[in-house]
Amino acid sequence: MPKLQPIPSRFMLRHNERRALLLIGDILTLIAALVMGLLIWSGGDETLRFSLDFLRNTPAWFFSLPIFWLVLISSLYDENRAADWSQTLRVITFVAVIALAFYSLIYFFNPPKSLPRRGVAGFIGSALVLNLLWRLIYINVFTTPQFLRRVLLVGIGETGQIILRIITSMRPMPFVMIGIIDDDPEKINTEIMGLKVLGGNDRLLEIIHQYDVTDLIVAISGKMSGNMFQALLDAREMGVDVTRMPVVYEELLKRVPIRYLEADWILRSFIDQVRVNVFSDLSKRLFDLLIASIGIIVSLPLYPLIALAIVLESGFPIIYTQIRMGRGAIHYSIYKFRTMRQDAESNGQPQWAEENDRRATRVGLFLRKTHLDEIPQFFNVLKGEMSIVGPRAERPELVEWFQQHVPFYRARLLVQPGITGWAQVNQRYAATIDETIEKLEYDLYYIKHRSLAMDLRVLLRTPAMIFGLKGR
């Protein structure tokens, strides 16, 4: 069959293009909000006038307000969250409330008229309205079918059904699903999960041209025929993106699909990619030392207040140490402010943390919700036992138990545990085996893709987790 002409993708945006579009739109709206804040500030005082002198005398921290706003809404750069209006409304409104409350606290504890009131209020109000307006435009325009990739699923065996179930369960759907290609003659012209099997590899190029397909998701877990392989190569030459199912799984869920893959895939696609050079390790260590030092300096004033609250409610000890398993299965003592009663594990058996754990004190519940109980772990980072970003440290007894029930669990020990991590900012505490498997998928995704850029991404999302009181 002669090769067909390339398929134009027009304005059908890929994942990275969507994130770039969201960021550009947010930056522009926040710059506009900053200008509005300055205009409200200068216009509300007869002694001030919007001019170059006014801008020169404006404190530098005022111009950094858009940066803090971007940090707090960083969770909305996940394309699935960005396409959900209820999540967008909740996050941006919450950020505005937190920003206003935080600045009000600072304002009232400073000398009168030493800080601007109208300017900051003007920025927060303008940012709330303009940011919501831009995100509403994005949802109503850029998530419509005209801007979505048009996808064919190649292979509808077990892995094909898994990825199809994930895609069709998302609201709104991340792609326009055109149909399925499969070489099994018994499946052709049947319907699976609402999608029709349009044909085999012999019709692939024809179907691509007929339906303006932009992407193929290859979910063939067994041996691929030579004809199918050639058809996929021809499709790629036409400009169609060809992506394997595990890669799409990772892009959509930001997790590694350990439940659906064999150990040899982990070795080929995971272990080979987690090797880092000495410079990467050195840069991460320097990054850890810098952030830990800043964290200790900033949090030091909180130590006497937290210590006093713990002692007044439940006495000593203030700092709680516990054996955890670190990189390479090395044991170390982790430091935390004590949040539970002294007899929380009187039987000596480790237990999963629960929502509003009954073993926790009232002060302890607050510390756990805000993650303030974990700030002594900065000293673990300085000692080299932990990193700022990494998988959550677990007790040796739990690690031994998990590795018997959760596939590839011990792979978490390839890197140092962290105070915060990709799993922590994406998922609440795991309390079941299924949740532990999901958490491990996030951890392995981080290990596979880890870099300073990834660490910064996690750090940017951590404040939203803290202010959202998502600890347990």
- Which pLDDT tens digit goes with each residue over 210-266? 999 999 999 987 788 899 999 999 999 988 999 999 889 989 999 888 876 666 656
Higher pLDDT, 44 or 128: 128
Q: State the average pLDDT for the chain.
A: 85
Architecture label for domain 149-253: 3-Layer(aba) Sandwich (3.40)
Q: Is the pLDDT of residue 7 over 90?
A: no
pLDDT at 348: 57
Q: Write the secondary structure of 139-151 as one string of H (helix), E (strand) and C (coil).
A: HHHHCCHHHCCEE
pLDDT at 407: 81
pLDDT digits (tens, 9 = 90+) for 85-131: 999 999 999 999 988 888 887 777 666 665 677 888 899 999 999 99
Other C-beta atoms closer than 10 Å to the C-beta of 467 total: 17
Residues in the chain: 472
| Residue in 305, 291, 342 with CA at minimum distance from that of residue 452 | 291
pLDDT at 421: 93
Dihedral over Cα of 295, 299, 300, 301: its sign: positive
Q: Average pLDDT in the 49-69 region? A: 81
Between 10-14, 16-20, 149-153, 155-159, the lowest mean confidence (pLDDT) is in: 10-14
Q: Is the pLDDT of residue 75 over 90?
A: no
pLDDT digits (tens, 9 = 90+) for 383-433: 999 999 999 999 998 898 888 888 888 888 989 999 999 999 888 777 778
Q: Would you place residue 267 in the very low, low, confident or very high pLDDT band (cuts 50, 70, 90)?
A: low
Q: Is the pLDDT of residue 440 over 70?
A: yes
331 conformational bin, left if phi > 0, alpha if psi -120 to 50, beta if neither: beta
pLDDT at 2: 46
pLDDT digits (tens, 9 = 90+) for 169-198: 888 888 999 999 999 999 999 999 999 999
Q: Average pLDDT in the 432-452 region? A: 88
Q: Is the pLDDT of residue 274 over 80?
A: no
Residues 391, 446 contacting (CB under 8 angstroms): yes
Sorted by where each begins, the domain ranges of the chain are: 15-142, 149-253, 278-467
Residues 408, 444 contacting (CB under 8 angstroms): yes
Give the distance from CA 253 to its chain's centroid: 9
Distances 196 to 177, 179, 186, 193, 207 between C-alpha atoms, Å? 10, 5, 13, 8, 12
How is residue 341 written in tokens? 């009663």
Q: Is the pLDDT of residue 280 over 90?
A: no
pTM above 0.85, yes or no: no
pLDDT at 137: 96
Distance, CA of 55 to CA of 38 (rounded, Å): 8
DSSP sequence for 55-83: HHHS-GGGGGHHHHHHHHTGGGGSHHHHT
Q: Would you place residue 24 in the very low, low, confident or very high pLDDT band (cuts 50, 70, 90)?
A: very high
Helix axes 452-467, 433-449, angle to 10 degrees: 140
pLDDT digits (tens, 9 = 90+) for 315-371: 889 998 999 999 989 999 999 999 888 766 656 566 656 555 677 889 988 998 888
pLDDT at 1: 45
pLDDT at 396: 92
The secondary element (H helix, E strand) that includes residue 364 is helix 362-370
Beta bridge partners of 334: 322
pLDDT at 356: 59
Structure-token match 């044909």, residue found? 199
pLDDT digits (tens, 9 = 90+) for 294-315: 999 999 999 999 999 999 988 8
Higher pLDDT, 393 or 460: 393
Q: Is the pLDDT of residue 40 over 50?
A: yes
Radius of gyration of the chain (CA): 26
pLDDT at 279: 73
pLDDT at 390: 95
